[in-house]
Structure 1
């Protein structure tokens, strides 16, 4: 009689046990999926945070430069005002036409304001250029590309492991897509000149056909110039290739990380120098110049 009662109870306990195991397994799988999803969200958040910090740093550098530039302009204006005060003091007998001097200073002030407005316009264009480029690059490309605006000039720094094979100077196929995006930006800003500048670390080169790091850095810059010209149609008159060897480091060459940062090729985009010099030469010649002349 007792044995007959034990058998149903055992069957009931087994049923409950296996049902509980089934539920626990489903819960466990759901928790694992949730953990993977949270991990992916965390990695995405970290990448977005790094990108935002880089953009904030670029804007902070630009703001610092603008503050220093405004201080220089204020100093120039103060010197002009000092010149006027000195002239007034030394020419009490009417030897100097004060009215004419004031007009000349006013014309100079208008010219200074014109330079400020022109520079602000150039800086705005550079920021648009930089934003357009960074938006066109993927997150993977941004790991090997650094874009900055310093003193009104756009610097695009490309790591050598993305552009070339180790110790070589021919542009690799994997760099083609990134260079095509940079070439499009260069084509969109036709009033800018482009300098391609090669840089190396301090390790000596051991290729029989390359004498030293001067040769290597210049050959690398020349390779990028020819890709931009031949594959993407950039006007060669706008391009300049140059090498700086190991003599323009941005990090300490005593560490592997520092050497990796120094092995880079920079694409430097800047307003045409002859246009800038022409602007500088356009100083006011008469006191009758109006604001529209500027």
Structure 2
């Protein structure tokens, strides 16, 4: 605006001068005036361009400031997330360390348990081999030895031990039990359960029923083992099962003969295993 005023004033001055100077000088003045007008217009254009550039730079600067604020905010958020991640990572590492410790302890227990089981299995295998050798003279229809669920079952048929309906151990039975007792006395860590079994035929005579007969037979064998044969009484349990755990069908004579038996069940001591499991 100031430039336009200046130009207007200049033109008025030139007109006044033109009325007072010769024609030649007036022409020279007009030429200079035109040149100045062009120069002024160029300057004005340059100023407009400079103002536009300044406005653009201010706009760009405002945008840069907005971006800077956004980046600072993003940086703060990232730092906060990093802090949380570091805290979480520390917690996770601590938890992993604790889990690894528990896993290591459990693995040690499992290894110890496996060693104990392997040891017990070895003990029972050796015990079976020893009993097999000690009782090798007896036929399979008189005596059988089987391993099941970590236990050893010495099954003596009724005809080897007792007369029909009797709970008194006969001489053949005493001899078989004496051979077995030698092995048992050399294996003091083995627990002993004596189970009497009968067939399903109702008993007649001095015993009230098959329960009483099976229990009396088991007790007779326990007394023989712990008395004459010197097996420690605290190792032995007597039990009567009557005909409620048959090995074969009671519908046939052969099946009933198999069911009339006394089983001496040998079990390794499991105290260490129970302590480890608890």
Which runs of structure 1 show a deviation greater than 6 angstroms over 4 or more consecutive aligned residues? none
Please name the residue that 2:265 is paired with. Answer: 268
Which has the higher mean CA deviation after the structures are superposed, 266-275 or 119-128? 266-275
What does residue range 206-245 of structure 1 map to in structure 2 within 5 Å? 206-207=204-205, 209-245=206-242
Separation of aligned partners in 2, 1:99 and 1:140? 60
Q: CA deviation at 1:103?
A: 1.2
Please name the residue that 1:178 is paired with. Answer: 176
Whether contact under 8 Å (1:205, 1:212) holds in the other structure is yes
Whether contact under 8 Å (1:195, 1:269) holds in the other structure is yes
Match of 1:255 among 246, 252, 256: 252
Whether contact under 8 Å (1:149, 1:155) holds in the other structure is yes
Q: CA deviation at 1:248?
A: 0.4
- Give deviations 1:62-99, integer Å, cap 9, x for gaps: xxxxxxxxxxxxxxxxxxxxxxxxxxxxx877265211
What does residue range 99-248 of structure 1 map to in structure 2 within 5 Å? 99-207=97-205, 209-248=206-245
Give the TM-score taking structure 2 as reference length: 0.65
- Give deviations 1:1-51, integer Å, cap 9, x for gaps: xxxxxxxxxxxxxxxxxxxxxxxxxxxxxxxxxxxxxxxxxxxxxxxxxxx
Separation of aligned partners in 1, 2:220 and 2:272? 28
- Give deviations 1:183-240, integer Å, cap 9, x for gaps: 0111111011100000000000011x31110000000000000010111100111110
SS at match of 1:139: coil
Please name the residue that 2:82 is paired with. Answer: none
Across the two proteins, how many residue pairs are aligned to each other?
A: 190
RMSD: 1.6
- Give deviations 1:158-190, integer Å, cap 9, x for gaps: 000110000111100121211111101111110
Which has the higher mean CA deviation after the structures are superposed, 91-100 or 268-277? 91-100
SS at match of 1:154: strand
What does residue range 24-39 of structure 1 map to in structure 2 within 5 Å? none
Whether contact under 8 Å (1:141, 1:178) holds in the other structure is no
SS at match of 1:148: strand
Whether contact under 8 Å (2:199, 2:257) holds in the other structure is yes
Separation of aligned partners in 2, 1:174 and 1:212? 25
Separation of aligned partners in 1, 2:232 and 2:149? 25
